A and B are shown apart, each in its own frame.
Chain A
Amino acid sequence: MKTQLNLQDADGFYEQLLDAHQGLSEQQSALLNARLILLLANQVGDAKVLKECVEAARTLP
C-alpha cells in the first residue's frame, strides 16, 4: 500500500469527489461511495494492497 502521495492532482480529485456528491440524498451519496470503492478496487486489483487499504481505513488516528 502506498502511503506517500501518488495522485497526479490531489486537489482536483478531492474537488471532483465532493462535486459528485452535490445534490444527492444521504442514501444516494452512500451508494455512490460504494460504487466508487468497487470501481477503484478493480483498478488496484492486487489482493494484498486492497487488504492493507481496508485495514488502514478501519484504523482511525
Chain B
Amino acid sequence: MADHYAETALTNGYEFARGSGYALPEYAFREPPEIASGQPSHHPIVIVGGGITGLSLACALAQYGVPAVLLDEDNTVGVKGASSRGICYTQKSLEIFERLGVYERIAAKGIQWSVGRTFAGQDEVYSFDLRQQSAYNLSTQPPFINIQQFYIEAFLVDRIMELGHIDLRWRNRVTAFQQDDECGTLSVTTPAGDYQVRADYVIDATGSHSPFRKWVGASVTAKKGDDRWCIADVRFQKHPPVERHTWIEAPFNENRAVWQHLMGDGVWRIDYQMAPDADPAEVSREDVVRERLARQFGADAGIEIVWVGPYAYRSECVDQMRHGRVFFMGDSAKVVSPFGARGGNTGIADADNLAWKLAAVLKGRAAPGLLESYHEERHEAACQNVLVTNRTARFLRPAGAAEKLFRDAALSLARQHPFARQFVNTGRMAIANPYTRSSACDTTGGLSVQNVGFEWPDGTPGRVNDLLRWAEGRLLVLVFGSVAPAALERLRGLCETAPMCCVQVLGPDEPASALEHVRDPKGHLQGACHVFGHAWALVRPDAYVAATGETVDAALVHAVGLALGTALEEDAA
C-alpha cells in the first residue's frame, strides 16, 4: 500500500496530540470483485472519500434509489486518531439529515443550543438567542445541534447499509485518475491488491488534501495566514452553561480569542487562539494545555482531556467545481476557517445539491445540462463562505496596527451602543446559501425552504420533508389558494409530461379542487416558500425554490424546464 494522500500538514486538518480519544466503529474490508476477475468494472457514479460530504451524497443517492460505489482509504469514520472535527450542524443540514433518515439519532446524541455570548476582556459585549430570531423558528429542526462529526458519519453509514444501492468499499485508496470521452478511470489500491474502476461521474469528496485537483488540473484561489489555534476537547466534573461563548480578548489567554462549545457525550470544545506562527508541538503539549485550561476554569474543575488538536487554517476555493466527469465537493472544493461552521455544513449542502441532479439525470428525468448548475450554485455558495469566513478571520487576527485600532474602536463602542455590536465578528453562522446566478433557477427562486409543518387533509401533521419524500426526487409544485379550471388543466398536463408532482395548499376553510391538497392554517408553508397570497412555488428535491409566481401560466412551464436543465415550452406539452 502506498502512503497517504499527502503528509498531514498543519492545515485545517486537526492532528491528534494527546487525550483519551474516542472509540470509532470499524468497517470490514472486502476484496473488490475486480481483483479476482482482473477486469475493470463500470459504474454510473463513483464517490471518492467517506467523510461527511461523501457519505451524505451516498445516502442521498441511496434514498433516490440510485446505485453508486464509495471508495474510502480508511476503515473507519473520522480521521484515525483525530476523531473529532466538525461539531456544529446548522438547521439546513439537520433538515437534510431528517430527509435522509438520520436526524433522530443526531438529535438524541447531540446538544441543542441557541444562546451565544461574546465577551471582550471581562465584559459581555453582546448575546443572542437564535430561537428568538424569525429566520429559525418555523422549522421542525432547531437552529443548531452540536455533535462530533464522526457520529453523524457513523449514522450515515448505518443508514446507507439499511437503504442499499451503495457499494461501500473501505480501505480502497485511489492512486490515479484519468478521464476521456468514454469514462473516468480510477486506479485503486487495497490490502488485497490493485484494480481499476470506471465511472460516468466521479465525485471528489476526499477533503482538503484532494489529489484530484492535480489530476484534473483544477486551479485554486488560495490565501494563507499566520493565525494559529489549539483545540482542547474536554470533560468537566463541574461544567459551564450550555451556551456558545466566545471571547475576543480573553484575559486567561493572553488577550487572544477563545471559543467554548458543548457537544455530545458531555464533551466541551475549548478552542484557543495562539500567538501568530506558534509552534503546534509546543502549544499542544499536555502540560501546556492543562495550564491553559486551569487558567480559564480553575485548578479544581476536574478536567479530563479527550482530544487536543493544534491547527492553522487557510482559505482555498477551486475555480471550477466540475472538471469533465469530476465534481468537487466539500473540502475538496473549498477550505475555509472554522468560524461560523461553514466547512462541513456546506459540504453537506454540496452533496444534497448534486444528489438529486445526478439522480434526475441518471433516471432520464432531467437533461445532463442540469449538472452545470451544480457549479453555478455551489461555487457561489463556496465563494460567499470564503468571503464571510475571511472577514471573521481578519477581525480575530488584525493584520496590522490600523486593523487593531479599528477593532479596539469597535469593541469599545459595542460596550456602549447596540449598533456597534454588529462589528464584533466572532463568526457568522452558516446559512442555506441563496442561489442568484443559477441557470436552473428563475430570478424569483434560489432560496431554501425550511422544513415547516402543515396539515394533511385528515388533520394529521405533515412537514415539507414529507412532501419531498413523497415526490421521490421529482419537482414539487405547490399552488396556494384556489385554482381556476384552466390552471388546473394546465397543471394536470404538466404533471403528465414532466417529472413533477402538484399539491394545492389551502387555508383552513378553503374548498379543495381535484388536486392533491394539504392545509396550511398558520401560513407557515407559504412563508417557507417565500410567497404571499395566490401564488405557486416550484420546490426542488433539495428544498430550494426554483421559481415562484402568481398565476399558473407559461412562466411556470418555463421554470420547470429550467429546473430540469431543458427547454420546456407549453405547446410541446
* Contact for A34 among B406, B417, B419, CB less than 8 A: B406
A1-9, A10-18, A35-43, A50-58 - the one binding chain B: A35-43
Residues from chain A with a CB closer than 8 A to the CB of B410 are 38
Contact B405–A30 (Cβ < 8 Å): yes
CA distance A31 to B405 in the complex (A): 6
Residues from chain B with a CB closer than 8 A to the CB of A42 are 419-420
Interface size of A by CB at 8 A reads 8
Question: How would you classify the secondary structure of chain B's contact residues: helix, strand, loop or mixed?
Answer: helix
Residues from chain A with a CB closer than 8 A to the CB of B124 are none
Residues of B within 8 A of A (CB): 405-406, 408-410, 412-413, 417, 419-420, 423
Q: List 23 A-B contacts (CB under 8 A).
A: A30-B405, A31-B405, A31-B408, A31-B409, A31-B412, A34-B405, A34-B406, A34-B408, A34-B409, A35-B409, A35-B412, A35-B413, A37-B409, A38-B406, A38-B409, A38-B410, A38-B413, A38-B420, A38-B423, A39-B413, A39-B417, A42-B419, A42-B420
Within the complex, the shortest CB–CB distance from A12 to chain B, in Å, comes to 24
Within the complex, the shortest CB–CB distance from A20 to chain B, in Å, comes to 14
Residues from chain B with a CB closer than 8 A to the CB of A39 are 413, 417
Residues of A within 8 A of B (CB): 30-31, 34-35, 37-39, 42
CA distance A35 to B406 in the complex (A): 8
Given contacts A34-B406, A35-B413, A39-B413, 18 further A-B pairs with CB under 8 A are A30-B405, A31-B405, A31-B408, A31-B409, A31-B412, A34-B408, A34-B409, A35-B409, A37-B409, A38-B406, A38-B409, A38-B410, A38-B413, A38-B420, A38-B423, A39-B417, A42-B419, A42-B420
By beta carbon, the residue of chain A nearest B412 is: A35
Within the complex, the shortest CB–CB distance from A47 to chain B, in Å, comes to 13
Query: Which A-B residue pairs are the 8 nearest by beta carbons?
Result: A34-B409, A35-B409, A42-B419, A34-B405, A34-B406, A30-B405, A38-B409, A38-B413
CA distance A30 to B406 in the complex (A): 9
Residues from chain A with a CB closer than 8 A to the CB of B417 are 39
Within the complex, the shortest CB–CB distance from A50 to chain B, in Å, comes to 13
Residues from chain A with a CB closer than 8 A to the CB of B406 are 34, 38
CA distance A27 to B156 in the complex (A): 55
Residues from chain B with a CB closer than 8 A to the CB of A37 are 409
CA distance A38 to B412 in the complex (A): 11
Residues from chain B with a CB closer than 8 A to the CB of A31 are 405, 408-409, 412
Within the complex, the shortest CB–CB distance from A22 to chain B, in Å, comes to 19
CA distance A35 to B407 in the complex (A): 10
Residues from chain A with a CB closer than 8 A to the CB of B413 are 35, 38-39
Within the complex, the shortest CB–CB distance from B407 to chain A, in Å, comes to 9
CA distance A30 to B413 in the complex (A): 14
By beta carbon, the residue of chain A nearest B408 is: A31
CA distance A42 to B420 in the complex (A): 8
By beta carbon, the residue of chain A nearest B422 is: A42
Residues from chain A with a CB closer than 8 A to the CB of B408 are 31, 34
Most A CB atoms within 10 A — which of B408, B409, B413? B409
CA distance A35 to B410 in the complex (A): 7
Within the complex, the shortest CB–CB distance from A1 to chain B, in Å, comes to 21
